[in-house]
């Protein structure tokens, strides 16, 4: 009896220690205990899971078998039957699962590389990802890397986008961290790497919250912020202390876009005069202030009530497209937002979309908007965007110019915080007339 009590006491102490370890040091517990246990389960069940998801293949193998053949002699028909064993080589079909590589742990799950069977393609594993996730009791399984003959699956134990908390901004120029990616890493928007962004989303989907996060992150940086808000200025007027220019009507938009095109041409002339390919290779004393342009509702720039507005719409579309085409090299960046982005707005929208290499798609009300945002990049990203639930505001699909995509969620930034940041850093706002009125520096020897 005493020995039993001792054993029970040891087991209880071990269980309490494991609970405390998991509660207070979850990362080390995951790497030290939970992941090795999960790895054993994955390796032991992989063949069964692959068979259930129809990822196995039958391969023919030759096996040596012993066949028992009864031999009855003429003189011993009433006696016991003599059995003779003969060896035969038979061809049999063996079901084989894809070869599973080494499981590599991550903070939220694990990664594993699989070798494809002959005739298999990555799309087969994308279709089976949901079934694999249910079989392993994990949040999600996704194909994250494709190489000739191999795919890499990334399994996530839990959804990291339930509660999003980001670290303070790093202070790097034109870099903002508005939220978290599905892999647990910070969502980083670097305008020097991806210069222009398209942000699509329905009302209450998180589109405006992302704009708030971007304004709050860019406010302390030495950049000029320019706004286009054709909804009467109700969205961007509270941020006016930090905006160098704000257009709230179609006429103001035409004039402001003309100033932007002129500024781009001035910077182009300066770079040409000094033999620089872009403004970042200019001497620091000649380097102009970066400009970030925020367009709140792009459809308002392209819609017209009657034919009298046709000329203004044409000028707006042409100027905005020129800024998108030329702005990258000259530190003029675009963030174009919209609830409805479709080809019915005119060919200018499709041409503009092609220049916006960064894409953010929140929950949208119509399939065409999601298709315009992500359809030309990756069909799997389009399917993931259509699955965003209305109960998860801020969740979106982020796609960069490298073709990769991630589920992400922006941190909640109340409007009052963004407005306070605009007021706190109002002294950093460049004067727009001075900025666009400056004469480009020309080399006299040119």
Q: Which residues belong to the annotated binding site for ATP? A: 201-208
Bin 433: left if φ > 0, else alpha if -120 < ψ < 50, else beta.
alpha
Give the SS3 label for residue 434. Answer: helix
Q: Where would I find the H helices in 162-249?
A: 207-218
The kind and range of the H/E element at 59 are: strand 57-71
Tokens 């992941």 — which residue?
35
Give the SS3 label for residue 446. Answer: coil
Bin 335: left if φ > 0, else alpha if -120 < ψ < 50, else beta.
beta
What gap in Å lies between CA 371 and CA 380, rounded to an integer? Answer: 11
Bin 184: left if φ > 0, else alpha if -120 < ψ < 50, else beta.
left
**Beta-sheet strands, E only, within 101-223:** 104-105, 109-115, 140-147, 150-156, 175-181, 186-190, 196-200
What gap in Å lies between CA 339 and CA 67, rounded to an integer? Answer: 73
| DSSP summary character for residue 157 | S
| DSSP summary character for residue 101 | -
Rounded to 5°, angle at Cα 215 from 210 and 217: 95
Instruction: Output the known binding site.
Output: 201-208
Bin 174: left if φ > 0, else alpha if -120 < ψ < 50, else beta.
left
Give whole-number Cα distances, 36 to 14, 26, 43, 339, in Å.
Answer: 18, 14, 11, 46
């Amino acid at each position: 009896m005493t020995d039993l009590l001792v054993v029970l006491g040891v087991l209880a102490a071990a269980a309490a220690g494991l609970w405390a370890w998991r509660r207070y040091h979850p990362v080390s517990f995951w790497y030290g205990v939970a992941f090795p246990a999960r790895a054993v389960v994955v390796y032991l069940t992989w063949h069964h899971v692959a068979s259930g998801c129809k990822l196995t293949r039958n391969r023919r193998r030759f096996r040596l078998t012993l066949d028992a053949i009864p031999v009855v002699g003429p003189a011993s028909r009433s006696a016991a039957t003599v059995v003779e064993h003969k060896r035969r080589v038979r061809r049999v079909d063996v079901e084989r699962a894809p070869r599973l590589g080494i499981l590599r742990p991550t903070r939220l799950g694990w990664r594993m590389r699989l070798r494809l069977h002959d005739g298999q393609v990555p799309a087969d594993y994308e279709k089976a990802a949901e079934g694999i996730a249910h079989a392993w009791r994990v949040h999600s399984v996704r194909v994250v890397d494709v190489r000739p003959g191999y795919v890499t699956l990334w399994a996530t134990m839990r959804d990291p986008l339930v509660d999003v908390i980001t670290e303070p901004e790093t202070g790097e120029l034109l870099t903002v961290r508005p939220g978290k990616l599905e892999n647990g890493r910070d969502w980083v928007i670097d305008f020097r790497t991806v210069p222009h962004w398209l942000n699509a989303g329905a009302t209450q989907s998180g589109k405006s919250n992302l704009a708030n996060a971007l304004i709050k992150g860019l406010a302390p940086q030495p950049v000029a912020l320019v706004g286009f808000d054709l909804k009467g200025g109700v969205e961007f007027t509270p941020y006016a202390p930090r905006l160098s220019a704000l257009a709230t009507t179609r006429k103001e938009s035409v004039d402001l876009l003309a100033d932007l095109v002129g500024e781009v041409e001035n910077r182009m002339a300066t770079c040409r005069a000094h033999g620089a390919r872009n403004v970042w290779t200019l001497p620091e004393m000649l380097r102009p202030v970066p400009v970030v342009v925020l367009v709140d509702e792009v459809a308002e720039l392209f819609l017209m009530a009657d034919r009298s507005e046709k000329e203004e719409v044409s000028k707006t579309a042409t100027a905005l497209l020129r800024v998108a085409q030329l702005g990258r090299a000259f530190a003029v960046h675009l963030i174009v937002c919209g609830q409805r982005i479709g080809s019915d707005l005119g060919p200018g929208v499709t041409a503009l979309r092609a220049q916006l290499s960064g894409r953010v798609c929140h929950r949208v009300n119509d399939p065409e908007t999601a298709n315009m945002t992500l359809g030309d990049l990756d069909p799997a990203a389009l399917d993931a965007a259509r699955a965003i639930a209305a109960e998860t505001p801020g969740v979106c699909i982020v796609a960069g110019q490298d073709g990769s995509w991630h589920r992400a969620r922006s941190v909640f930034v109340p409007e009052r915080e963004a407005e306070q940041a605009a007021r706190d850093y109002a002294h950093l706002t460049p004067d727009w007339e001075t900025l666009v009125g400056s004469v480009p520096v020309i080399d006299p020897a040119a």
